[in-house]
Amino acid sequence: MNHMRTIVAGNWKMNTDLASAEALVEGLVKEAAAFPEGVEVVIAPPFPFLEMAVKRCTGARIIVAAQNCHHHEKGAYTGEVSAVMLKSIGVKACIVGHSERRQYSGESDKLIGEKAAALLAQGLTPIFCCGEQKEEREGGHHFDVVTEQMKGALGRFSNPELERIVIAYEPVWAIGTGLTASKEQAQEMHAHIRALLHTHGASVAERVPILYGGSCNPGNAEGLFAQADVNGGLIGGASLVVEQFLELVRIAGAAQVGSRQ
């Protein structure tokens, strides 16, 4: 891992109820004072629990993110949640372009870019997800797929805007399957993404953290987080278990210290 920001983010997806969400937040808040220096810890609970999480995390080193938002500020969009609303309750970041939303809600790169723009307009950090499907990797198209996703969603942004985005590479075949990208596969894709960022200038490439996601857990994180272009993880299943998530935070801290020696 290089010297840029290190982030461990938990995407809770459609899991927990109020009681278990409170317990999960409390379990993390209790340990927050002991989080390693330089590791940013992010949790993305479901919408109904965001305000509770923001309140409980105030003063603790935990940033609260949403899992999705609408691309308009307000209006007749029944059931939707805007970046303005998220900002108003103290949410600081939001996942956009997760493969589950691409797959089940038909989100296009263009729409994902519009969501990221809505977030940036409110001063929130978009956590932009990209990643290829199994067949695309088997066909050798994985680099092209990720290039297209990046260009389609992020091509509209200026360099100062790009510098405020976090990228998560999540190969679809590794999400929730127990199959993880090897550390070599992760590093080569992260290096590819870094090179794409570099076409916008060195400062963009140097500032944008690139997280790995897909069956990342305490058993495989050490190798992944030690890669030069892996700046932490976007964690699904293991973020729902306090001890596992805390262990991932610890591993990210150790990897960061290792890279400085």
Select which of 70, 71, 98, 192 is catalytic.
98
For position 175 contacting ligand 13P by CB under 6 A, the verdict is yes
Respond yes or no: is residue 51 known to be catalytic.
no
E strands present in 1-101: 6-11, 39-44, 62-66, 93-96
Candidate ranges 49-57, 86-94, 107-115, 231-239; the one touching ligand 13P (CB under 6 A)? 231-239
Structure token digits, residue 77: 């969009």
Residue 113: HSE in the Cβ half-sphere, 13 Å Cα cutoff? 15
- Using CB under 6 A as the binding rule, whether residue 170 contacts ligand 13P is answered as yes
Q: Which range binds ligand 13P by CB under 6 A, 15-23, 74-82, 189-197, 230-238?
A: 230-238
Does residue 170 have an active-site annotation? yes
Q: Note whether 149 binds ligand 13P by CB under 6 A.
A: no
33-to-27, 57, 222 alpha-carbon distances in Å: 12, 12, 22
Q: Which is nearer to ligand 13P, 41 or 204 (CB)?
A: 41
Residue 21 phi/psi, 5-degree rounding, is -65, -40
Among 126, 214, 232, 253, binds ligand 13P (CB under 6 A): 214
Residue nearest to ligand 13P (CB): 236
| Given 166, 216, 221, 230, the residue binding ligand 13P (CB under 6 A) | 216
The C-alpha atoms of residue 109 and residue 13 are separated, in whole angstroms, by: 20
Q: Among 68, 215, 227, 256, which residue sits at the site for ligand 13P (rule: CB under 6 A)?
A: 215
For ligand 13P, the closer of residues 187 and 215 by Cβ is 215
Q: Radius of gyration (Cα) for the chain, nearest Å?
A: 17
Contact call for residue 230 and ligand 13P (CB under 6 A): no
205 part of the interface to ligand 13P, by CB under 6 A? no
Cα-Cα end-to-end distance for the chain: 11
Query: What are the residue ranges of helices labelled H in 95-158?
Result: 99-104, 109-121, 134-138, 142-154
Which residues neighbour 228 within 8 Å (Cβ) at sequence distance 6 or greater? Answer: 1, 2, 187, 191, 259
Binding site for ligand 13P (CB under 6 A): 11, 98, 170, 175-176, 213-216, 234-238
Looking at the annotation, which residues are catalytic? 98, 170
